[in-house]
A and B are shown apart, each in its own frame.
Chain A
Amino acid sequence: MAGEIYRKPIMFAIVAALVILIGTIATVFFPMFTEGMHPKLENLKPYTALQLAGKDIYQREGCNNCHTQTVRPLKTEVMRYGDYSKAGEFAYDRPFLWGSKRTGPDLARIGGKYPDTWHYSHFENPQSFFAKSNMPKYGWLKDAKLDPADIEAHMKANSFPYTKEEIAALSAKTELDALVAYMQIIGTAVQKKPATAGGLTAVKSEHIKNPLEGDQKAIAAGKQLFETHCAACHGSDAKGGIGPSLVDDEFLYVKGDVPDDDYFEITNNGTHPGDVEDGRTAKGGMPAYAGVLSNDNMWSIITYVRSLKAK
């Protein structure tokens, strides 16, 4: 009889539990072992020993308490940091270090944004780059040596491939070297898109005239913008530092000047190793300012730099 089971409470409980269990296995456990639940980007590589050591230091120092590693798919966030985070870029992050609070900026796209020298100087003294920064100084990491045996154990635990030479080489490295190596690999599995953010016009291949050329107001505005955005790397006199001099006769390591729109293009898109601009090859290290600075502001900075050069 159909209603029979309702009169047998124990039998009913067992049958109900079985049904729920089958449902759970089918909808939760079974998908867990399918490939689709473990997405991995095509060019995502396991961490090298040095990078993993850096990741461990990042975790030890609690960097993830103040820095997130997730760019949300929101327009202004993609403009500020870069492409939004993908599920497939965290396959080797055990544990992931997404963070939950941005006291400092997001770091999901920090890899390759600045040259190594930028990171070394910035860790040593963040306030020399951003006067009002509240980031602690981490220069002391350069006095701490890495422990190769410990890192080898971590590589094994993660089953990442490594060579004996790679481990041996670690004894010559400091914790700061490892942390910088980690910084430079974060988010690099996601292909960088040419930066044409938020309705800004992409720069065309034919030369465009600087619309603010020689404008005195633009020079004054450009000077202020230069001090906020550029001076930390190019020097407050634009004679170079971490980045090259902007007032000498060289552009992208080749003698001879280039028109203003090439300056614009590099400010807008940033440089990546191997980019070719007017027949000159970039080494990378210039961050993209598309979306961060308006077109007018970029032209103002270029006008200001030109006015320095004229002197």
Chain B
Amino acid sequence: MQSNYLTKFFIMGITFYGLQTVQGPTQAIRVVSSLIHYTDWVPGHVHMGTMGWVTMTTAASIYYIIPKIYNTEIYSVKIANTHFWLVLIGQVMFSVTMWITGIQQGALWKATNADGSLKYTFMEGLAKNYPFWQLRTVAGLIFTVGMLFFIYNITMTMRKGKALASSRA
């Protein structure tokens, strides 16, 4: 992992894939489903796949293949590392806040008073989500900035490759 910057993309990608495939069937268990179904938990679960597994492995594949096509080295390993950490932090923060929101929603919808009546109105539950949704926005921004680093790195690699090709010709 220290010698090749791409390894950690693949390892984290596969880890999120593994976590998601464990989480998915767990959600089908009746008790779990009765708590988290229809809540923010589910989008949290899905984004671990899209932002963790799919994005990480796709980005690593592009990092691998673009220098090969242009017959050069990657523009900057440092930027690639920054990209990795931003995407990782953004994604984990995104999923974790959604899971907390989901469990909270599910619990508030189910909560009852001693006499059996419902404890919270739907609106009371909704208002408690807002801080988490703001955190989710921050997480999404971190992730997006990470992807901008990625685009910049790839563009510069392609430019470097083109310049090399023309100087060789």
Tell me the A residues contacting B by CB distance below 8 Å: 68, 72, 74, 76-77, 79-80, 100-106, 130, 132-134, 197-200, 228-229, 291-297
- Of the A-B pairs whose beta carbons lie under 8 Å apart in the complex, a sample of 18, sorted by A's number, is A68-B38, A72-B34, A76-B112, A79-B117, A80-B118, A102-B105, A105-B122, A132-B130, A133-B126, A198-B112, A198-B116, A200-B115, A291-B116, A291-B117, A292-B118, A294-B116, A295-B117, A297-B117
B169 at the interface (CB under 8 A from A): no
Number of interface residues of B (CB under 8 A): 23
Given contacts A74-B34, A228-B121, contact A199 B126 (CB under 8 A): no
Question: B63 to nearest A CB, angstroms?
Answer: 34
Chain A residue nearest in CB terms to B123: A130
B159 at the interface (CB under 8 A from A): no
**Considering the complex, which residues of chain B in the window 104-152 have a beta carbon less than 8 Å from any beta carbon of chain A?**
105, 109-113, 115-118, 121-123, 126-127, 130
Chain A residue nearest in CB terms to B43: A101
Given contacts A80-B118, A291-B117, A294-B117, contact A133 B123 (CB under 8 A): yes
Chain A residue nearest in CB terms to B113: A294
Q: Can you list, as one digit per residue, whether each of B34-52 has a CB less than 8 Å from chain A (1) or not (0)?
A: 1001111011000000000
Contact of B42 among A72, A100, A296 (CB under 8 A): A100
Cβ-defined contact, B109 with A199, below 8 A: no
Cβ-defined contact, A80 with B122, below 8 A: yes
Other CB < 8 Å A-B pairs besides A80-B122, A133-B126, A292-B118, 6 of them?
A101-B43, A104-B122, A104-B126, A132-B123, A132-B126, A198-B116
Contact of A291 among B34, B43, B118, B130 (CB under 8 A): B118
Cβ-defined contact, B109 with A76, below 8 A: yes
Cβ-defined contact, A296 with B115, below 8 A: yes
Cβ-defined contact, B38 with A76, below 8 A: no
Assembly CA distance A39 to B43 (angstroms): 32
Q: Residues of A contacting B34 with CB < 8 Å? A: 72, 74
Cβ-defined contact, A229 with B121, below 8 A: yes
Assembly CA distance A130 to B34 (angstroms): 27
Cβ-defined contact, A72 with B37, below 8 A: yes
Q: Residues of B contacting A296 with CB < 8 Å? A: 115
Chain B residue nearest in CB terms to A77: B109
Q: Residues of A contacting B123 with CB < 8 Å? A: 130, 132-133
Contact of A200 among B116, B122, B127 (CB under 8 A): B116
Assembly CA distance A295 to B123 (angstroms): 21
Question: B49 to nearest A CB, angstroms?
Answer: 16
Assembly CA distance A100 to B40 (angstroms): 10
Cβ-defined contact, B115 with A295, below 8 A: yes
Assembly CA distance A67 to B122 (angstroms): 12
Given contacts A102-B39, A132-B126, contact A80 B116 (CB under 8 A): no
Question: A154 to nearest B CB, angstroms?
Answer: 29
Q: Residues of A contacting B111 with CB < 8 Å? A: 76
Q: Residues of B contacting A102 with CB < 8 Å? A: 38-39, 105
Cβ-defined contact, A101 with B118, below 8 A: no
Q: Residues of B contacting A68 with CB < 8 Å? A: 38
